[in-house]
Structure 1
Amino acid sequence: MKLSLRQMFAPTLLALALAPLAFSAQAEQHEGRGSDADREAFHQRMEERRQEVYERAGLSDEQQQALNEINAEHYQAMQALRAEHEEKVADILSEEERDALKEAMKEVRDEHRGEGKGHGRRGGHEHQNDEAEAASE
């Protein structure tokens, strides 16, 4: 069976198209932002984009259903892993210490985002490498 380029690259295109959505959803959930209405609107937009990706990739209904099922399994596994991690952290840190850690992480993230303007979401790496090189001299 000979596959077209579209069929060969469909899984890769799908993963690339959905990755930013997954990261955004994870970030919003992790930070606890947004109301129920915001989350519902976000999920609706995500579903619309997923459907558009499926259509562009030329996936059959069966393929779409199978992908939706494994994505749901993956999401559930990630939720379970997150809960397990939170339990382990709670065994190590008090609630006040966890809050202090979250605040420190937010401050560092915000500082790095300010430094990395123009370098993308995770920018600032070049600046950090320059500082490390200067320190080693």
Structure 2
Amino acid sequence: MKISSAKKVSIRKLFAPALLAITIAPLALTAQAHSHGDHEGQGFDRERMEERMEERRQEVYQRAEISEEKQAELNEAHAEHREAMHALREEHHERIAEILSDEEQEALRNAMQEAHEEYRGKHGKRSHHDEQEDSADSE
């Protein structure tokens, strides 16, 4: 049985993306696992992010002409808030672990990721700010 060269080309065109996807998939999954993991290996990035946020906060304080004394109080309040949120997040994770098995937690994470990807596929990558503008425009 001979296959015409036109069919060979179309078959190659059909399977080339699939083969590429199969080849790249392990890299993508590894990158995704790292970016959505427990954030243990991201201390440096998290630290840099917090430093940038602190710099921006200080710039805003200066623009608003907030005194250094009040800046210190605001920074303390921010640190307390961050610590409280961290404690609450940990408490929440412990509670989830009491309710769901490891397998159920993994299934829930996967389902949430799929739902997120579907939402982004339908709505694109948009910021919260863009969504507020759209809702204001539609009123």
Give yes or no for the alignment of 1:70 onto 2:77.
yes
Normalised by the size of structure 1, how large is the TM-score?
A: 0.60
Which amino acid is 1:116 matched to? H
Structure with larger Rg: 2
Letter in 2 for 1:62: E
- Cα 1:29–1:110 change in 2 (3 A) is closer
| Mapping 1:5-84, distance limit 5 Å | 32=39, 35-84=42-91
Bigger RCO of structures 1 and 2 (CA < 8 A, at least 6 apart)? 1
Instruction: Find the partner of 1:121 among 120, 127, 131.
Output: 127
- TM-score normalised per structure 2: 0.59
Q: Quote how far apart the aligned CAs of 1:117 are.
A: 2.2
Structure 1 unpaired stretches of 5+: 1-27, 127-137
Is 2:115 the counterpart of 1:108?
A: yes
Equivalenced residue count is 96
Which aligned segments of 4 or more residues in structure 1 are displaced greater than 4 angstroms? 28-31
What is the identity percentage for the equivalent residue pairs of Structure 1 and Structure 2? 49
Q: Is the 8 A contact 1:54 1:64 kept in 2?
A: yes
